[in-house]
Structure 1
Amino acid sequence: MPADRKSKIDVSPTQVKILSDPTRLRILSMLFEQEASISGLAKALGLTPATVHHHVNRLRKAKLIRPTRSEMRGNLAETYYEMPAKGIDSSHVWDRLKDEEKVAYRLAVLGMLKGMINDSVKAIQARGTVEWEVGRLLFYKLPWRRDAITQVEEVLQDTKRRLARLEESWREETGAGRVAVVITMLPA
């Protein structure tokens, strides 16, 4: 991860609207991990380069991603992009969004998660085995009250800090496979 990354991007309502697309969120999640070109993203996502170019262009114009370098591939200049922050924070604009904008964003997040799950299923099927317990689901049904949600957010913040420390301590590890940890709150 580049050293000049900010800890988070505080997004505007317009940026939230641009992010309300599962493909754009998938692209962001991939660019969070490592820089990539349009052709690399297209191959990984199973989309046409034209489709990925459209989404990358929207993200770049919204300042949610940035170009890092260009490489010549034959007669083509291939531009690589990255996410300039470790995360995106929409909390400070959330109350200014219309209900339909909130719904569109949440549905995009769920669509992105569905895509990640589908990719994980394909990886498991390709390997023919799983070395650890994948897909452990823990369900906790809590009251839909501000105090309960605030407490859950505190627990999640602590979990994020711990996972970041764990990720940092293993950053130098090479050759080992990686696992994605997904933590989310959903209405029950």
Structure 2
Amino acid sequence: MLLQRLALLVAWVSQLYADAGAALSGDQSSRLRIKWQASIREARLSSNDKGVSPPHPITAGRTTQLLYCRIGIGYHLQILPNGTVGGVHEHTEYSWLKVFAMKQGVVGVQGLKSGLYLCMNRDGVSHGLSLFMADCLFRESLEENHYTTYSSFSYPGFYLALSPRGEARKGGSVSKLQPCTHFLPRSGVQ
């Protein structure tokens, strides 16, 4: 189990180094090395856990926040334990999210309470999964109006969006210009 986790981690880091190439300065390289070492430590510590999915690739650089969408009466994005993604007006324990960087401009999102990763499938349906995979990667973009949009990394042009009733909308039916795709990251006391 530990060897599988370490093999996945080494493959991911190798790919990250290949992508970064010579563009990394010494300081950036040092930070990446520290994150990689922290990931290995976490994999070793969790190797005794049975039935636990592997940790996401980067453990450092995570932020805990709410994602507020200004559509309708305003909703906080939430990931429920059954995998349902939607919005709720008053934030709940399922609204607190960990947003972590995978590479520049690409993030993953995990529900703090549910433990599920935010993903989008080829049909543009947002849902939560217990295992982190390519469908769980999003391009994070700061728009001119200072709101943030999240588009699927695997399916370009598909955006994370909520309806005026707080339901998840299909990613292919919206554009980044629509308010339903605009999120405001909010930090605060849980």
Q: TM-score range by the shorter chain?
A: under 0.3
| Larger strand percent | 2
Based on CA coordinates, which of the two structures has the bigger radius of gyration? 1
Structure number with the bigger relative contact order (C-alpha 8 A, sep ≥ 6) is 1
| Larger helix percent | 1
What is the TM-score of this pair, normalised by structure 1?
Answer: 0.25
